[in-house]
Amino acid sequence: MIPAQAITELKALVGERNLLTDPLDLRLYEYDGGVDKHMPEVVVFPRSTANVSGIVKIANKYNLPFVGRGAGTGLSGGVIPTSGGVMISFARMNRILEIDLLNERAVVEPGVVNLDVTLAVQAQKYFYAPDPSSQRACTIGGNVSENAGGPHTLAYGVTTNHVLGLEVVLPDGEIYTTGGKEVDLPGYDLTGLLTGSEGTMVLVTKVIIRLMRAPEMVKTMLAIYDSPEDAGNTVSEMTRQGILPVAVEMLDGVMLRMVEEATHAGYPLDAAAVLLIEFEGLKEAVEEQLEQVREACLQTKAREVRVAKTAEERDLLWKGRKNAFGAVGRVSPYYYVQDGVVPRGQIAVTLREIHKISEQYGLTICNIFHAGDGNMHPIILFDARKPGELERARQAGEAILKFCIKVGGSITGEHGVGMEKNEMMALQFTEESLDMIRGIKGLFDPSCRLNPGKVLPTGKGCLEIRQAPLTTANML
């Protein structure tokens, strides 16, 4: 329970209009894009780095846990306040502070929406490369916390490859900066350490990001298959030939039909799978690569290969991909998105295993994922109103992730560990590695008040706050 005096001090710091305590308001902040829930006791909206520092110092004064929040689009429970306490929402720190096209840099606050960066510079033929599917809603601060990816990170890399510097508030309220606009500063790469730390070490208040020039030519291809395994084999063939498009996305038949019915993107309703493949660069290089990939698709049993003839056709194909989760919501009242990674050569066998798991647990599982880097996103459809279905969905998701590890992969590619997968960390890492992670966290946050209950499995000290597992009864 937060002391009344703490609320009074928070109001004095940020103003009454920048603070929520009503239970009805707080319910809007008890969840993210995953399936877990827990309410904060107060939500505070800072407008400056000084505000954030002051909030943290008040939280420390009263021994309160606290957690940062961006847009709440995360999928692993990373912003769920497992111990209640103070939620710090960065929604009102949403300014683009500087655009420096001469040096291909921008400085933004954490609440800036990902796509807004590209929209601010696209007239000058620049863009920001990391493009999560939620880029119309997700924020740069959240992207930094989770080291977000996206379709085009196959060629351009994930968020950490485009973050050059940070301003952060440490768990004791001190303000600190890492990195800068320079290409390669001496010393330890603290920016790289903090990017992807899932909001457990610092609160990010400012980000220096890299901008990129728009390519001379962009071409988008749709390859159509009668078997998901054949689509997976195409990815393996492209890898074998050393062909690297900027994006290779796969949708299986169940998924593409939901997407097509919702968006009318031009996907064939009778296909078992499609690959959405994109090429960027100099005109001659793009045209040569496009023909190489067309041949690889046909060699691996693609029944048809289409190339978007206009920018409008290309945008429509990507609209289908980017709006896929919304399309699922039209069909199923609940769904559970997983995020495993496998070597590209194991995509076909993993798809077969996912089909077996679907039959084993009696649940529909559709697939839409970044096939170019083996980042699988099986989507498990269920109805939490039916007894036992949520639990079966969780079990099916765990079975998929265990198989990913078995074939040389990982339990997460871009969604993070959060509170969803922390119990599985022991399957991925040795005890020695987990102790090292715990030690690094302890250096930044020895009191374990910043985003407790995340990343490490139960029993690894103060990082894990024991909590009753979510059930159908307390989800609704």
> CA 107, CA 152: separation in Å to the nearest integer?
22
Type of residue found at 58: I
pLDDT value, residue 310 = 94
> CA 456, CA 383: separation in Å to the nearest integer?
29
* 8 A C-beta contact, residue 376 and residue 350: yes
pLDDT value, residue 459 = 60
Q: pLDDT tens across 415-460, in order?
A: 999 999 999 999 999 999 999 999 999 999 999 999 999 998 866 4
End-to-end CA distance of the chain: 24
> CA 132, CA 322: separation in Å to the nearest integer?
9
Q: pLDDT tens across 305-330, in order?
A: 999 999 999 999 999 998 888 899 88
Across the range 88-103, mean pLDDT stands at 98
Across the range 35-55, mean pLDDT stands at 97
| Element of type H or E holding 43 | strand 42-44
Across the range 18-39, mean pLDDT stands at 95
Instruction: Judge whether residue 58 has pLDDT over 50.
Output: yes
CB-CB neighbours of 308 under 10 Å: 20
| CATH code 3.40.50.1220 for 327-406 | no
- 72-76, 180-184, 247-251: range with lowest mean pLDDT: 180-184
% the chain with pLDDT above 70: 96
Nearest C-alpha neighbor of 339 from the set 313, 373, 311, 386: 373
**CATH domain 218-321 topology:** Alpha-Beta Plaits (3.30.70)
Across the range 109-120, mean pLDDT stands at 98
What are the residue boundaries of the structural domains of the chain, listed by start?
4-89, 96-213, 218-321, 327-406, 422-475
pLDDT value, residue 470 = 37
> CA 257, CA 230: separation in Å to the nearest integer?
18
Tokens representing 101 are 């096209």
Strand partners, 251: 274, 368
Diameter of the chain measured on Cα atoms: 70
pLDDT value, residue 466 = 34
Instruction: Return mean pLDDT, the chain.
Output: 93
* 8 A C-beta contact, residue 366 and residue 379: yes
Across the range 43-69, mean pLDDT stands at 98
Across the range 373-383, mean pLDDT stands at 95
Q: What is the per-residue DSSP string for 253-306?
A: HHHHHHHHHHH-----TT-SEEEEEEEEESHHHHHHHHHHHHHHHHHTT-SEEE
Nearest C-alpha neighbor of 41 from the set 16, 7, 68, 9: 7
**pTM across the whole model:** 0.92
pLDDT value, residue 456 = 86
Q: pLDDT tens across 158-197, in order?
A: 999 999 999 999 999 999 999 999 988 899 999 999 999 9
Tokens representing 65 are 């846990």
CB-CB neighbours of 474 under 10 Å: 10
* 8 A C-beta contact, residue 320 and residue 336: no
Across the range 279-295, mean pLDDT stands at 96
Across the range 3-10, mean pLDDT stands at 98
Query: 96-213, which class in CATH?
Result: alpha beta
> CA 132, CA 134: separation in Å to the nearest integer?
5
pLDDT value, residue 457 = 83
CA dihedral 407, 76, 143, 125 (to 10 degrees): 70
* 8 A C-beta contact, residue 70 and residue 56: no
> CA 222, CA 364: separation in Å to the nearest integer?
25
> 4-89 — its CATH code?
3.30.43.10
Tokens representing 328 are 């699922």
The answer to whether 96-213 and 327-406 have equal CATH topology is no
pLDDT value, residue 329 = 86
Instruction: Judge whether residue 204 has pLDDT over 70.
Output: yes
Strand partners, 210: 105
With a CB cutoff of 8 Å and minimum separation 6, the contacts of 387 are 472
CB-CB neighbours of 189 under 10 Å: 13
